[in-house]
Homo-oligomer: A and B are copies of this chain.
Amino acid sequence: MAQDQHRSARTLETVARACDVIDTLDALGGAGVTEVATELDIAKSSAHAYLNTLREKRFVVKKGHQYHLSLEFLYLGKSVRHRHVLFAHGKSVVDQLASESGEYVHLMAEQHGLERNVYKVAGENAVGDTYHTAKERKTDFLHFTSTGKAVLAHLPESRVRDIVDTHGLLQKTENTITDLETLFEELETVRNRGYAVNDEEEVKGIRAVGAPIRNANGTVLGAISVSGPSSRFTGEYLHKEVPHMVKEAANVTEASINMSDASQSL
């Protein structure tokens, strides 16, 4: 059933289903046994067993007859973030960039071919992140964001093809790049000028500039972006000032990472 493209390593159905239960509880914001059972198309007794086990393991809490994800996830999330390389070396840089630019700043990592924000800060005049505060997930593709394109530009071509095969090229606005040919051209441009521009490709009225963060081997780890209203993001500001700030911030982060890498690898 779960046979993937490459010869699939073994997967445990029970574990996979437990993950589905977690996803379902998140999607529904809590649910009862029957609800979970119908949602995942399994027997009530099975759903009950899954929920009960997750509860005993403290990943789920039960309020009355409703099951919810527990605050354990908040702790795990914090833990993951604090240990992440980009957070460790990028947080202060991002904070500074936000106060310097006054705009919204994102620190992003790629995982499983998707965009994952490690950290984000709103500068004083920040605009435009109210979209996706709640539902930020599932549609976090790489091809319509500045950070995403900055990352894609520095991944091996084969990897980019894999990612597009897996996730497709969803159209979010009329500016979204929706075919592979155009995407590769765009990535070429990104590589040449050293930064990526999101020209209302995800949300109308919002532009962004993103620069990649790479380690000493040239492997891309993520990206930093500055975003704001299209009205403000034009001309010199969009094509000179912002790129300059963003690239600088990315470079500083890279330097910090490479220094600690160098000291560790001895």
- Contact A10 to B49, CB < 8 A, known contacts A16-B57, A58-B111, A111-B61: yes
Query: Which of these, B58, B76, B80, B114, contacts A112 with CB under 8 Å?
Result: B58
Return chain B residues, CB-CB under 8 Å to A49. Answer: 9-12
Q: Using CB atoms, name the residue of chain B closest to A23.
A: B57
A19 engages B54 (CB within 8 Å): yes
- Give Cα A137 to B82, complex, Å: 14
- Give Cα A84 to B70, complex, Å: 10
- Contact A15 to B16, CB < 8 A, known contacts A61-B111, A71-B111, A116-B71: no
Return chain B residues, CB-CB under 8 Å to A59. Answer: 19
Which residues of A are at the interface with B, using a C-beta cutoff of 8 A? 2, 4, 9-12, 14-16, 18-20, 22, 26, 29-30, 48-50, 52-54, 56-59, 61, 68-84, 109, 111-112, 114, 116-118, 133-134, 136-137
Query: Which of these, B11, B12, B76, contacts A26 with CB under 8 Å?
Result: B76
A74 engages B81 (CB within 8 Å): yes
